[in-house]
Structure 1
Amino acid sequence: MEEHSHENDFHLIEQDGGYDTVGSIATNVADGFTMVAVGDLILSRPLTKYQHPGFDGIIKILRDADVTFGNLETNIFDIRSFRGSPQAEYGGAYLVSLPEIGPDLKAMGFNLMSRANNHTLDWGPEGMRETSQVLNQNGIIHAGAGENLAQAGAARFLETVRGRVALVSLASSFTPMSRAGDPAGEAPGRPGLYALRLTESIVVPPTMLENLRQVRDSLPNPSPDYKDLNRLGLAGVSFKSGDKAGYSFEADPRDVADILRNIRRGKQFSDFCIATNHAHEPGNWSHEPADYEQSFARRMIDAGADAYVGHGPHLLRGIEIYKGRPIFYSLGNFIYDQLRTPVGADMFEIYGKDPRVDTDAEVTVEEEAKGYPRAEGFVNALSAPVYYESIITVSRFEQNQLAELRLYPIELGYLKRFANRGVPRLAPAPQAQAILERLQKLSEPFGTEIAIDNNVGVIRLPPSSPR
């Protein structure tokens, strides 16, 4: 059985000398279908039980959609009965939420969530499994984590009145030991997340590359591991020549092929397919996506995805409309509730705190102020106001085309006390205007025009938009 594609409209399978259509990649939803998509949910406690100012307005937007999507960047379990442990390798902080989060997310309106991110295995496979159980018990469809690679990468499906929605969740930013694996012979599969592996290179001007080559060649027993004169390796780091200094990433072709297949399979069994990627690259400091991501996102659309939703760097990145489908390069934070406990002994140690003297909150404040730790020191701080500003996106489809995209600016209480920060509300007029103007500039390189109407961003597409 050999697979073919024809004009990128549908996939055909050769059978007995003829062809049968097995799955159109066109959108196939009823008129008025709406998708709400937001970014990272980092929360430790239920929020709907309290009267957070402005939060009711947020919930109304979430509940009014056919599908409401967010990235669940935490584990959910009761520490009093938990049988796992915080892992030596974790995503920069130990994220954990109370079991009451399950019904709370459902009450907010969420019915679809991604699980593949750098915190998926903060608490080991046990934490991953308990989180899955809580989501399952509350009827929230989730993808991106499983008992092996096939389960983690499989599309999961949400039934709505206007169409069946598929979700494929992956992460290019993840801890190495959290990557799921398939069984091989007698070796069992490995639980974990659906990963897109990237090869990172540091880009330097040609003259600097030549200086680095001289450094390498002066070392005892040098190993010229790159024959290409425009690339070299030094001390385990890959360098390549470019116009200006920066970072470059190449996606693993084996992972890309597997992801494309899962997108294709997901669309063949659904009316609407969402591809979502947790991608910090090139870093939480960057308002621009990594150089691999535009091509990768477009390939997801070409394979059958109706939307590509990026998240990870905790701040907004631009929006592109490709073949009439939305590409969100990062939707920033939606809930950024840092009131978490316990944080794990490793975090006390790395931030110079003593669990017999200092509190979990004091460790968390230190982590937010300095940023996630790496071997070479601390990277960007996560406490700047920009990490507390984001948007809610509402995509509306008519005649199986994206007709309108509305962008609601939100702010997450940056100026509030620590225990009350991180809960979203619609941003007041001056702040909303500033958020949308920033998003306009970030989206310009992608050819996207965002109008501002009464403090709401609007992208309108004519019915004849190319598909």
Structure 2
Amino acid sequence: MGSTGFDTPTRRLLLKAGFPLIFLPVVAGAGRRPLRISLLGQSLIKTDLRRIGWQGLGEFRRILAGRDLVFTDLETVIGGPLAGRSTRPADSEVLHVAEPEVIDCLQAIGVNIVATSNNHAWDLDTGGIVSTIEALRARGLAFAGTGRDLAQASAPGVAGRVALVAAAAGAIRDGAAATATRPGVNELRREPDGALVAADVERYLGAIRFAATGGATVIAYLHNHYWEPRKSDTPAWQRDLARRAVDAGAATFVAHGVPELQGMEFHRGAPLFHGLSSFIFQSEKPDGAYGPEAWQSAIAELDLVDGRVAATRLVPVQLDARGLVHEGRRVRGSPRLASAASARSVAERLEALSDRLGASARFGPPQQSRRGGWTVKVDPS
């Protein structure tokens, strides 16, 4: 084969994972409708929302209907016979384990690809990594960010014409990262001076180049737990990584990890969503552990033509901070489309956070959508 224009180690790694060199045709967009992508906040889901009379089910089915790709981060490990023992205390408020039916709940509203690279993927040890992978595969749900070895964990997940490259940085405990012989997470490590390990970054960027060269529209994803003292601030290194991801061929960059919104910006016309907060947030931490910002979120709607984002909209979302008791457990963090007042609050917060990043994004006023809820149009400045 001829040169692919990027590092040989990454190319060999992805080919080892069974990922083909050319996997999608490059098709011009003339005369075709845009590719429609929706990016949700992270989904910390331990109880199937359909079991508790979730009023938002119909709302989100309606606004996500007709989208070609609907993405979220599955911040939950799936139990089952393959799973190992808990790597956290059994009564830990941050043990995130669920039955496979939570995947069905996400699919019921249209989710068709998820990231699995996060700090909870290893909550049931290495067996939990495998158990989650098998549950996703059994349901035909595309994913990226974990695998049976580093080659698979680094490889893009593919849904239609879209490829997802996913990694995690921070709070990945010893034993959780994928290696050449061990299942785990695609981890981006840090050097003692705080810089990301160059080989890890090149593996991440190389996977983006690999997928883009093959004709895919690429989403670059990061689950980040290297937080700044003020959680709403975006680290400079993350901003740099996002730009490099776009330079490598990604159409957009999206991050989770911080349980609240962060700002967005544009690079070469590509939107960079540095923190979309939570779409579902079934936290069991005590009241007051999080401020009101943790219960606000947004869905990013992208329309792409010829692999480039032609339109960007945000759909404000409000989560239920009080919750209800179901089968002896308090279930909080169920999402609904934001009301008019809540939509204005989300839009104003996102605009203020984005201004901190240099005002490269111009926000329109919230407008009522024919599909329900409110939308905010966002353009490069």
Scaled to the shorter chain, the TM-score interval is 0.7 to 0.9
Residue 195 of structure 2 corresponds to residue 250 of structure 1 = yes
Q: Could you say what secondary structure the match of 1:44 adopts?
A: coil
- Separation of aligned partners in 1, 2:277 and 2:159: 24
8 Å contact from structure 1 (residues 28, 272) kept in 2: no
Q: List aligned pairs for 1:247-286, cutoff 5 A.
A: 249-283=194-228, 285-286=230-231
TM-score by length of 2: 0.84
Q: List aligned pairs for 1:34-53, cutoff 5 A.
A: 34-53=36-55
8 Å contact from structure 1 (residues 27, 271) kept in 2: no
8 Å contact from structure 2 (residues 39, 72) kept in 1: yes
Name the aligned partner's letter for residue 56 of structure 1: G
Partner of 2:365: 452
- The change in CA–CA distance for 1:34 and 1:431 in structure 2 (over 3 A counts) is same
- The change in CA–CA distance for 1:284 and 1:108 in structure 2 (over 3 A counts) is farther
Gaps of 5+ in 2: 7-20, 368-373
Q: Could you say what secondary structure the match of 1:198 adopts?
A: coil
8 Å contact from structure 2 (residues 217, 307) kept in 1: no
- Separation of aligned partners in 1, 2:311 and 2:132: 34
- The change in CA–CA distance for 1:5 and 1:145 in structure 2 (over 3 A counts) is closer
- Separation of aligned partners in 1, 2:28 and 2:221: 19
- The change in CA–CA distance for 1:448 and 1:411 in structure 2 (over 3 A counts) is same
- The change in CA–CA distance for 1:77 and 1:23 in structure 2 (over 3 A counts) is closer
- Separation of aligned partners in 2, 1:70 and 1:284: 26
The offset of 1:115, in angstroms, is: 0.5
Partner of 1:429: 340
- Separation of aligned partners in 1, 2:163 and 2:256: 18
Residue 318 of structure 2 corresponds to residue 411 of structure 1 = yes
> 1:397 pairs with 304, 312, 322, which one?
304
- Separation of aligned partners in 1, 2:179 and 2:23: 28
Pairwise CA RMSD = 2.8
- Separation of aligned partners in 2, 1:319 and 1:332: 12
Partner of 1:192: 184
- Separation of aligned partners in 2, 1:51 and 1:59: 15
8 Å contact from structure 2 (residues 136, 143) kept in 1: yes
8 Å contact from structure 1 (residues 413, 423) kept in 2: yes
Q: Could you say what secondary structure the match of 1:150 adopts?
A: helix
Name the aligned partner's letter for residue 427 of structure 1: A
- Separation of aligned partners in 1, 2:306 and 2:148: 39
8 Å contact from structure 2 (residues 242, 253) kept in 1: yes
Q: List aligned pairs for 1:332-343, cutoff 5 A.
A: 332-338=277-283
The offset of 1:77, in angstroms, is: 2.0
- Separation of aligned partners in 2, 1:284 and 1:387: 16
- Separation of aligned partners in 1, 2:71 and 2:215: 16
Q: Could you say what secondary structure the match of 2:41 adopts?
A: strand
Name the aligned partner's letter for residue 172 of structure 1: A
Residues 409-446 of structure 1, C-alpha deviation per residue, up to 9 Å, x if partnerless? 11111144463421100111112101110100111224
The offset of 1:456, in angstroms, is: 2.3
The offset of 1:318, in angstroms, is: 0.8
TM-score by length of 1: 0.69
Name the aligned partner's letter for residue 350 of structure 2: L
The offset of 1:28, in angstroms, is: 5.8
Partner of 1:125: 126
- Separation of aligned partners in 1, 2:83 and 2:230: 36
8 Å contact from structure 1 (residues 28, 271) kept in 2: no
- The change in CA–CA distance for 1:199 and 1:405 in structure 2 (over 3 A counts) is same
Partner of 1:84: 84
Residues 137-196 of structure 1, C-alpha deviation per residue, up to 9 Å, x if partnerless? 11110011111111100112112xxxx1111110012223211111xxxxxx12110011
Partner of 2:179: 181
Moved over 4 A (4+): 1-6, 21-24, 26-30, 88-92
Partner of 1:60: 62
- The change in CA–CA distance for 1:178 and 1:409 in structure 2 (over 3 A counts) is same
- Separation of aligned partners in 1, 2:103 and 2:333: 18
8 Å contact from structure 2 (residues 47, 331) kept in 1: no
> 2:234 pairs with 289, 292, 295, which one?
289
- Separation of aligned partners in 1, 2:117 and 2:97: 15
> 2:246 pairs with 281, 301, 319, which one?
301
8 Å contact from structure 1 (residues 48, 108) kept in 2: no
Name the aligned partner's letter for residue 258 of structure 1: R
Name the aligned partner's letter for residue 117 of structure 2: A
* The structure with more radius of gyration: 1
Q: Could you say what secondary structure the match of 1:308 adopts?
A: strand
Partner of 1:70: 72
Name the aligned partner's letter for residue 408 of structure 1: V
- Separation of aligned partners in 2, 1:319 and 1:33: 21
Partner of 1:96: 97
Gaps of 5+ in 1: 7-20, 183-188, 202-248, 339-363, 370-380
Residues 276-324 of structure 1, C-alpha deviation per residue, up to 9 Å, x if partnerless? 0001222484111112011111111111111111000011111111112
Partner of 1:229: none
- Separation of aligned partners in 2, 1:55 and 1:144: 27
Partner of 2:137: 136
- Separation of aligned partners in 1, 2:190 and 2:130: 26
Q: List aligned pairs for 1:305-324, cutoff 5 A.
A: 305-324=250-269
Q: Could you say what secondary structure the match of 1:437 adopts?
A: helix
Report the number of matched residues.
Answer: 351
